[in-house]
């Protein structure tokens, strides 16, 4: 009998329906035939055409995984759209995987190595982003609602029953601050429950398929089962294959068998983030009360015991983040005894904070009632004290220092990732210089002479940040195995500073979210008449954030303009190559030439200039945030309350930026909803989302779940299961072509690196619309860089020589390029012709990123590969007589 070959197609980010992936078409005006679900379920499943027969030499099967990130038009789309609000955490998590020189075996990573130290810094940064979220929510609940809202009119504008804080026992002292803690702690609880639930989302499949159990398939079972009924998996008659011989040491982290099974690691990191978030939320009112009303007597015992508990939680978390048991993905227990200790200490800290806030004021400091805004400002804005800034004391200072510390941490991440431990000296020196300089100017350092009057805090901050930035300019440390780029435009992205660039964009987005939320709540709670002094004011850093956001949008517009100019120049070059001088082409040919040159120019723009444009905007954003951090440390608003002249222009720009920030979270959620519902938006913006959620949550446990932790094990189990069937089983496949498009190429590569060698010998890899070199190889060099991608080609080495990998690409595809890693590259002509032919009246379409399996090059290569895969299948012996 002739061996059967399965082509298993895996779609990309556009969530192509199974019937389109299979190439099924209906009659004119009729619906296409519905494919048959042969394995899986409604969310992820394997589909075949109902016309597939048991004797077909090549069977086409489609794996549909798009509903893990896209979904159908259901109410769950809204839930998934809300995941996009956690995009800052997603980018911070991706930064961990952008490190160079990640060891192939996770147990060999050491804290002092370049990859280990960068990982620790990234995890610290992720922890600080959780703190930023909690600080923002504490600003909403503690500062804006619990502290500044003293009138019933103001509290009535907040969603929920907050009016009781305007009178009676709750209005005295700091008791309203204890109630305000409900906002950050409530949302932290929701995030914790969602993260806990998504552990099961990622754990639907085991990390590796189990060994087949010996048994006999039912004799009456049809070849592929009846349509509409998934077939039972038949087990081989013969004994299972012998154990896999000891293989060589892995050379790619994707070969780690626990890479896609990180539930234990996720639980450990989740516990640390939740405890830290609760600690930051409690520290906001606790620090304000300690500064305004130093405790004495029994209040001092409660206060300093609480401070000790919370400080111990933070210290333990910072230390544990760098320990080996957190980086390992194996294991299901959180942190052993330490987890219980952290939970107890966090609970004691929260209980102590609430108790201290509920106790009456002490005699040592200023009465808290004298520091809060006076009552009645909503009815009489011109009353005494209504025009003064009565925001929570010290809250602006905390926000400013946290943001500046995060900027220094980002610089340290980029410097260490590029140049190793030696580059950490400059950020450390800046981190020491900045607080000492500010303390000297503010007169907090006794015994030192007074600072010169010309020396300002913003100048010291600017010098310190520039000093830290010199670490980013050190020469790049070469790897032990220094391999040149595979081809042009495949070198390391952003000079090895990729983790800082990716995490930096996540940080800017997180700051924008936070500023927008604080501004929106402030605007909602403000009861002052138009033109009058506000009754509720946002933190000063929020005012600077609005101004910076407006300038950042202008810089983004400039980057888009530069991209447009480069695209225009590239299109002219491509058009000149298609239309030679002195041509005699028709108007139709000239129009087709313009259409083709447009797609070819887009192909070159993305592949040759895309990451460079992103890097240019990152430089502009870095300059902007440097100036912003220097400005917020002065604690001065960007404009006076009554602005005239140039200050009025600054105020108008800042107000416009604040207004845009207020709508930013809703805008991002709307775009996220369109990503799940609109194919055009999905193919553009959705690429960023699918790249981000491909990676496991190894750095930030509160990021959206990884779809690959379900898709890769399912593909692995399906592939190995079909190849392991008994030789006389009709469903057995003698060879499998893993056919991946776009992001499906990355999924297939991860599957191949996880499979044992005995299965890889019967697999061929088709990749098309592939970004393994121009995108993944440059941004994630530890997985797909010049020294790691050849491991994929080596894994597909054929017994008789050659590599079982064919890559298809078009020069009109903006997301598909040659790979040049040892595979066979096949250029696909697009369009097939400039003129209609064979009786057709329409021009052949320009398919760019789609329709690869419909090309003649694809069909010829599949026939060749199917013939090669069948050569390993012995022909049945002829009997005598």
The string of DSSP letters for 740-755 reads: EETHHHHHHHHHHHHS
pLDDT of residue 223: 42
**Which tens digits make up the pLDDT trace of 219-262?**
333 344 444 444 444 444 444 554 555 556 788 999 988 888 87
Q: Would the pLDDT of 433 be above 80?
A: yes
- Of 391, 423, 441, which residue is a domain's last? 391
Determine, yes or no, domain membership for 664: no
Stretch 65-73: mean pLDDT = 66
Stretch 357-375: mean pLDDT = 72
pLDDT of residue 676: 60
Determine, yes or no, domain membership for 760: yes
Domain of 730 in residue numbering reads as: 5-64+217-243+717-870
- Decide which of 616 and 233 is more confident: 616
- Decide which of 503 and 86 is more confident: 503
501-524 burial, b at 16+ Cβ within 10 Å, e below that, comes to bbbbbbbbbbbbbbbbbbbbbbee
Stretch 252-277: mean pLDDT = 88
230 class by beta-carbon count within 10 Å (0-12 exposed, 13-18 middle, 19+ buried): middle
DSSP string for 746-780: HHHHHHHHHS-HHHHTTEEEEEES--TTTTHHHH-
Do 754 and 821 lie in one domain? The reply is yes
Do 183 and 34 lie in one domain? The reply is no
What is the rounded CA–CA span in Å between residue 481 and residue 373?
A: 64
Q: How big is the CA angle at 129 (ends 92 and 623), to the nearest 5 degrees?
A: 75
Determine, yes or no, domain membership for 541: no
Determine, yes or no, domain membership for 466: no
Do 58 and 163 lie in one domain? The reply is no
Determine, yes or no, domain membership for 506: no
Determine, yes or no, domain membership for 658: no
Structure confidence at residue 324 as a pLDDT band (50, 70, 90): low
- Of 369, 391, 413, which residue is a domain's last? 391
Do 864 and 781 lie in one domain? The reply is yes
Structure confidence at residue 375 as a pLDDT band (50, 70, 90): confident
Going from the C-alpha of 866 to that of each of 36, 734, 762, the distances in angstroms are 23, 10, 11
* Secondary element (H or E) of residue 61: strand 58-64
Stretch 378-405: mean pLDDT = 82
Structure confidence at residue 322 as a pLDDT band (50, 70, 90): confident
Structure confidence at residue 81 as a pLDDT band (50, 70, 90): low
DSSP string for 594-638: HHHHHHHHHHHIIIIIHHHHHHHHHHHHHHHHHHHHHHHTTT--S
Q: Can you say whether residue 385 is alpha, beta or left, with left for phi > 0 and alpha for psi between -120 and 50 degrees?
A: left
- Of 354, 370, 391, which residue is a domain's last? 391
> Residue holding tokens 């294991």?
331
Among 329-333, 349-353, 688-692, the minimum mean pLDDT is found in: 329-333
> Residue holding tokens 């892995």?
250
pLDDT of residue 238: 42
**Which tens digits make up the pLDDT trace of 118-162?**
999 999 999 999 999 999 999 999 999 999 888 888 888 888 888
pTM score of the predicted model: 0.90
Domain count, the chain: 2
Do 177 and 265 lie in one domain? The reply is yes
Stretch 784-811: mean pLDDT = 90
Among 324-328, 651-655, 775-779, the minimum mean pLDDT is found in: 324-328
Do 270 and 379 lie in one domain? The reply is yes
* Tokens linked to 470: 């010199």
Do 304 and 185 lie in one domain? The reply is yes
56 class by beta-carbon count within 10 Å (0-12 exposed, 13-18 middle, 19+ buried): middle
- Decide which of 187 and 654 is more confident: 187
pLDDT of residue 854: 94
Q: Would the pLDDT of 599 be above 90?
A: yes
pLDDT of residue 484: 64
Do 202 and 238 lie in one domain? The reply is no
Q: Would the pLDDT of 875 be above 50?
A: no
* Secondary element (H or E) of residue 807: strand 805-809
Give the phi and the psi of residue 50 in degrees, each rounded to 5. Answer: -70, -15
**Which tens digits make up the pLDDT trace of 47-56?**
999 888 888 8
Do 157 and 280 lie in one domain? The reply is yes
Determine, yes or no, domain membership for 728: yes
- β-pairing, 58-64 vs 45-48, is antiparallel
**Which tens digits make up the pLDDT trace of 542-569?**
989 999 999 999 999 999 999 999 999 9
pLDDT of residue 311: 97
Do 261 and 302 lie in one domain? The reply is yes
Q: Would the pLDDT of 201 be above 70?
A: no
Stretch 604-609: mean pLDDT = 94
851 contacts: CB under 8 Å, gap ≥ 6 = 845
pLDDT of residue 646: 76
Closest CA to 495 of 781, 734, 230, 212: 781
pLDDT of residue 11: 92
pLDDT of residue 228: 44
**Which tens digits make up the pLDDT trace of 434-478?**
999 999 998 888 888 888 888 999 999 999 999 999 999 999 987
28-39 burial, b at 16+ Cβ within 10 Å, e below that, comes to eeeeeebbbbbb
Determine, yes or no, domain membership for 712: no
Do 40 and 164 lie in one domain? The reply is no
Do 332 and 263 lie in one domain? The reply is yes
Average pLDDT, the chain: 84
What is the rounded CA–CA span in Å between residue 93 and residue 108?
A: 21
Structure confidence at residue 351 as a pLDDT band (50, 70, 90): very high
Stretch 316-345: mean pLDDT = 76
Structure confidence at residue 656 as a pLDDT band (50, 70, 90): confident
Going from the C-alpha of 819 to that of each of 131, 774, 816, the distances in angstroms are 41, 8, 9
* Tokens linked to 436: 């000492």
């Amino acid at each position: 009998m002739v061996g059967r070959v399965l082509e298993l197609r895996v779609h990309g980010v556009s969530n192509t329906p199974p019937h389109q992936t299979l190439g099924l078409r209906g009659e004119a005006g009729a619906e296409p035939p519905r494919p048959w679900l042969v394995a899986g379920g409604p969310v992820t499943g394997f589909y075949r055409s109902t016309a597939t027969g048991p004797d077909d030499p090549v069977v086409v099967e489609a794996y549909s995984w798009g509903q893990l990130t896209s979904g159908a038009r259901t109410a769950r789309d809204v839930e998934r759209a809300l995941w996009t609000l956690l995009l800052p955490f997603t980018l911070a998590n991706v930064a961990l995987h952008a490190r160079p020189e990640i060891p192939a075996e996770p147990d060999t990573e050491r804290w002092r190595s370049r990859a280990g130290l960068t990982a620790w810094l990234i995890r610290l940064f992720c922890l600080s982003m959780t703190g930023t979220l909690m600080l923002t929510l504490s600003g909403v609940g503690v500062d804006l609602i619990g502290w500044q809202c003293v009138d019933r009119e103001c509290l009535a504008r907040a969603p929920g029953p907050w009016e009781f804080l305007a009178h009676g026992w709750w209005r005295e002292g700091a008791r309203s601050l204890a109630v305000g803690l409900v906002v950050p702690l409530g949302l932290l609880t929701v995030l914790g429950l969602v993260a806990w639930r998504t552990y099961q989302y990622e754990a639907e499949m085991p990390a590796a398929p189990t060994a087949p159990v010996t048994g006999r398939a039912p004799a009456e079972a049809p070849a592929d089962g009846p349509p509409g009924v998934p077939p039972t998996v038949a087990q081989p008659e013969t004994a299972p294959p012998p154990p896999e011989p000891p293989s060589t040491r892995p050379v790619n982290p994707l070969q780690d068998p626990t890479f896609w099974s990180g539930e234990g690691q996720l639980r450990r990191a989740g516990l640390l983030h939740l405890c830290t978030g609760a600690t930051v939320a409690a520290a906001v009112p606790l620090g304000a009360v300690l500064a305004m009303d130093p405790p004495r007597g029994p209040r001092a015992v409660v206060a300093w015991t609480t401070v000790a508990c919370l400080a111990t939680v933070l210290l333990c978390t910072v230390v544990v983040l760098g320990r080996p048991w957190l980086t390992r993905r194996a294991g299901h227990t959180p942190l052993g005894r330490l987890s219980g200790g952290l939970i107890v200490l966090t609970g004691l800290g929260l209980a102590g904070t609430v108790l201290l806030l509920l106790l009456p004021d002490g005699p040592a400091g200023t009465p808290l009632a004298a520091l809060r805004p006076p009552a009645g400002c909503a009815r009489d804005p011109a009353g005494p004290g209504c025009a003064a800034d009565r925001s929570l004391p010290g809250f602006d200072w905390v926000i400013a220092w946290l943001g500046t510390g995060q900027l220094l941490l980002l610089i340290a991440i980029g410097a260490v990732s590029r140049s190793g431990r030696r580059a950490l000296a400059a950020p450390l020196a800046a981190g020491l210089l900045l607080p000492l300089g500010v303390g000297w100017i503010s007169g907090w350092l006794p015994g030192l002479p007074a600072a010169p009057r010309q020396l300002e805090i913003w100048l010291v901050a600017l010098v310190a940040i520039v000093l830290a930035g010199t670490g980013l300019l050190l020469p790049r440390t070469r790897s032990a195995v220094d391999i040149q780029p595979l081809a042009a435009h495949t070198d390391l992205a952003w000079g090895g500073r990729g983790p800082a660039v990716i995490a930096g964009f996540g940080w800017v987005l997180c700051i924008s979210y936070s500023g927008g939320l604080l501004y929106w709540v402030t605007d909602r709670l403000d009861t002052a008449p138009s033109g009058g002094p506000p009754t509720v004011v946002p933190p000063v850093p929020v005012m600077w954030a609005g101004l910076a956001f407006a300038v950042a949008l202008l810089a983004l517009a400039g980057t888009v303009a530069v991209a447009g100019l480069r695209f225009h120049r590239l299109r002219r070059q491509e058009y000149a190559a298609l239309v030679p001088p002195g041509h005699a082409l028709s108007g139709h040919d000239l129009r087709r030439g313009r259409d083709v040159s447009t797609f070819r120019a887009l192909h070159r723009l993305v592949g040759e200039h895309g990451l460079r444009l992103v890097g240019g905007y990152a430089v502009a954003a870095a300059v902007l945030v440097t100036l912003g951090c220097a400005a917020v440390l002065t604690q001065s608003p960007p404009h006076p309350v009554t602005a005239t002249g140039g200050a009025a222009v600054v105020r108008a720009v800042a107000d416009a930026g604040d207004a845009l920030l207020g709508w930013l979270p809703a805008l991002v959620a709307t775009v996220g909803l369109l990503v799940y519902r609109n194919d055009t938006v999905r193919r553009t913006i959705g690429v960023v989302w699918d790249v981000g959620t491909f990676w496991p949550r190894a750095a930030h446990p509160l990021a959206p779940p990884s779809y690959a932790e379900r898709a890769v094990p399912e593909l692995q189990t399906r592939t190995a299961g079909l190849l392991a069937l008994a030789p006389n089983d009709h469903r057995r496949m003698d060879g499998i072509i893993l056919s991946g498009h776009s992001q499906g190429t990355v999924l297939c590569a991860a599957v191949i690196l996880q499979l044992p060698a005995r299965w890889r010998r019967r697999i061929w890899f088709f990749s098309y619309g592939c970004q393994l070199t121009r995108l993944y190889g440059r941004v994630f060099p530890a997985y797909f860089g010049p020294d790691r991608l050849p491991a994929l080609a080596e894994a597909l080495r054929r017994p008789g020589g050659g590599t079982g990998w064919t890559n298809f690409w078009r020069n009109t595809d903006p997301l598909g390029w040659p790979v040049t890693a040892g595979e066979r590259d096949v250029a696909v002509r697009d369009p097939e012709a400039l003129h209609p032919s064979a009786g057709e009246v329409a021009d052949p379409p320009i398919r760019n990123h789609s329709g690869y399996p419909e090309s003649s090059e694809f069909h010829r290569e599949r026939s060749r590969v199917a013939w090669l895969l069948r050569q390993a299948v012995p022909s049945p012996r002829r009997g005598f007589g």
